[in-house]
Amino acid sequence: MPTLRAWLFRVAHNRALDLLRGRAVRAAEPIEAAAHVADDATPDPAETLMRQEAIKMAVSRFTELPVLQRSVIILKDVLDESLADIAALLDLTVDSVKAHLARGRERLRAINMATEPQPVAKPTSEAVARYVTLFNQRDWEGLRALLAGDVKLHQGTYPVRVGAKDVGMFFSIYATFEGVWLAPAWLEGREVIAVFESRTDPKPSYVMWLEWSEGKISFIRDYRYVRYVVVDAELVLAAGDERDRLAGEA
């Protein structure tokens, strides 16, 4: 019986970890709806970052629990076993299972709070500051001059635009959107551009992600049509009130 119990627990434990990983991946699955627009050689960096962070957070924080607390939470909160079955499996009383469950849940909350990264405002790079300034000044020709000849543009499920001439139409489209305002920002430690649909909006609606090569923009990822990709991400505006500062420069 002890050998069988140990084997059953290993099965439950492994299944729980698989479920945790699966839930983390499934939470990111809507991101896959936009994946087919990117070629395999250039996976979407926002998607990759968020998927990695979700899996790491789900598994690493959970494994910080003491073994019994972890075991009880796996069996109850992940596998939905009854308290009586958990008690029988772990050779505990039901009251003991309840105690380990309560302490484990509380410990997990404490771990999550203690390890929650505090947003840090970082300075803006010269390249991104230049792009944001030109955009907010509606200097579309100045922005087109920043494009590399072989620049690519990804916009959700739309076909990929390639080349400075075709990607230049991107700015013509934005010229028709009144009130759109940009601000430098950071997403999970990566520099991005926050897009506000109005300067009075308290929070950005989505982001742009630029890549550069030899001082020119080589890649633009615009999340206007796939906003869910970064909806739960930790987006931090760059140091200082960029919208007010850039408004003064405009």
- What pLDDT shows up at residue 13? 54
Q: Classify domain 126-249 at the CATH topology level.
A: Nuclear Transport Factor 2; Chain: A, (3.10.450)
User: Mean pLDDT lowest for which of 95-109, 136-150, 206-220?
Assistant: 95-109
Give the mean pLDDT of the chain.
75
* Mean pLDDT, range 190-214, rounded to an integer: 91
Structure-model confidence comparison of residues 91 and 134, the more confident one:
134
CATH architecture of 2-115: Orthogonal Bundle (1.10)
Does the pLDDT value for residue 165 go beyond 90? yes
Residue-level pLDDT at 44: 57
Q: Quick: pLDDT tens for 80-116.
A: 788 898 888 888 899 998 998 888 888 877 776 665 5
Residue 27 has pLDDT above 70, yes or no: no
Note the pLDDT of residue 62: 67
Averaged over 174-184, what is the pLDDT?
93
- Report the percent of the chain where pLDDT is more than 70: 64
pTM over 0.85: no
pLDDT higher than threshold 50 for residue 26: no
Q: Give the tokens for residue 38.
A: 């990117």
Top-confidence residue, 218 or 106: 218
Quote the pLDDT of residue 59.
56
Please list the residue range(s) of the chain that carry CATH number 3.10.450.50.
126-249
Highest mean pLDDT out of 61-65, 105-109, 148-152, 184-188: 148-152
Confidence of residue 46 (pLDDT cuts 50, 70, 90): low
CATH 1.10.10.10, the chain: domain bounds: 2-115
Q: Is the pLDDT of residue 161 over 60?
A: yes
